[in-house]
């Protein structure tokens, strides 16, 4: 299977590293904004084509699929461009930064019948998979999720500490992880959602702090704190308070309520959530089926985000 990876930043590299472990998949082209670093990235990973045009990449012979790791504001339009060109597409989170665009993605997917998958990595991290499997087996039921998403980003830089050409967003990017995961893990729709935010950054034009509350139809609650002002451990920390135990997930690792490690090494074929996400994308294409984290499955997340955006004004 020949694929294109668009976006040579921190997450583009994560996908390239993960794909190296997946048999039967070849990255034919990498697409970037600037020619020199894109050519360097292609050379480092043994990729035949380094391009600055997604349209040119889509026209390469034999391309079946595209992974979009481009700036958030480009996701929806580029995903639609890929599907209109007859290519399956995996869109890094968030799939869109408006509810209207997310709904349009869902519409185009249904029209084309192609795989359109959101990069909602938390569904694939072994830590969260372990909890999900316990819930499916009837061994756990979530009472509450308490989540902290903390970064120190008072300047417009990416996960590699490099300047960004676009601006990140607590609601439309980082909250999307938790809103989707909460509904996925509980198997319930959010019926009440509330949000408040702190002052806007004078240069970036975004809120640097945010607090979100969620309630499902059967009374499960989620409290989410987000900040770009946190000078300390960075990342997202998920506390699952269940009827039969408490667990804390930190990306691919899991501990119980007493900080005792839980072995999640046998949950899946890899401990790398990005790789597992990509494996699901390629498998869904090969097996002609809907993937976990399809646009249809993650759309309820964006419906909640749209509702919260209206509240925040």
pLDDT, one tens digit per residue, over 265-284 is: 999 999 999 999 999 999 99
pTM: 0.95
Sequence spans of domains, the chain = 2-119+274-293, 125-267
For residue 156, pLDDT over 80 is answered with no
**228-243 tens-digit pLDDT:** 999 988 899 999 999 9
The topology (CATH level 3) of 125-267 is Dihydrodipicolinate Reductase; domain 2 (3.30.360)
CB 76, CB 95: distance < 8 Å: yes
Residue 74's alpha-carbon distances to 95, 177, 227, 238, in angstroms, are 9, 18, 24, 29
CB-based burial, 251-281: b 16+ in 10 Å, e otherwise: bbebeeeeeeebebeebbebbbbbbbbbbbb
Q: What is the reported pLDDT for 166?
A: 75
Q: What is the reported pLDDT for 167?
A: 80
Q: Does domain 2-119+274-293 have CATH number 3.40.50.720?
A: yes
């Amino acid at each position: 299977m020949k694929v294109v990876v668009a976006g040579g930043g921190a997450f583009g590299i994560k996908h390239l590293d993960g794909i190296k472990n997946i048999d039967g998949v070849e990255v034919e082209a990498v697409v970037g904004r600037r020619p020199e670093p894109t050519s360097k990235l292609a050379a480092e990973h043994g990729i035949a084509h380094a391009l600055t045009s997604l349209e040119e990449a889509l026209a390469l012979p034999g391309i079946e699929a595209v992974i979009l790791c481009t700036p958030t504001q480009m996701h929806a339009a580029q995903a639609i461009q890929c599907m209109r060109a007859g290519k399956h597409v995996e869109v890094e989170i968030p799939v869109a930064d408006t509810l209207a665009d997310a709904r349009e993605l869902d519409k185009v997917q249904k029209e084309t019948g192609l795989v359109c998958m959101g990069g909602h990595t938390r569904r694939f991290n072994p830590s969260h998979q372990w909890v999900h499997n316990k819930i499916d087996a009837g061994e756990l039921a979530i009472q509450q999720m308490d989540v902290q998403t903390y970064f120190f980003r008072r300047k417009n830089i990416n996960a590699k500490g490099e300047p960004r050409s676009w601006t990140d967003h607590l609601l439309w990017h980082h909250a999307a992880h938790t809103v989707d995961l909460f509904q996925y893990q509980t198997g319930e729709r959010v019926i009440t959602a509330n949000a408040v935010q702190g002052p806007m950054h004078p240069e970036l034009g975004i809120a640097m702090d945010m607090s979100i509350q969620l309630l499902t139809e059967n009374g499960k609650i989620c409290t989410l704190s987000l900040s770009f002002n946190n000078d300390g451990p960075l990342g997202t920390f998920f506390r699952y308070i269940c009827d039969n135990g408490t667990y804390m997930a930190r990306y691919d690792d899991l501990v119980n309520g007493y900080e005792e490690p839980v072995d999640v090494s046998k949950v899946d074929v890899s401990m790398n959530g990005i790789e597992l996400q990509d494996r699901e994308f390629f498998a869904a294409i090969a097996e002609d089926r809907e993937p976990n984290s399809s646009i249809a499955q993650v759309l309820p997340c964006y419906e909640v985000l749209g509702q919260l955006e209206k509240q925040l004004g």
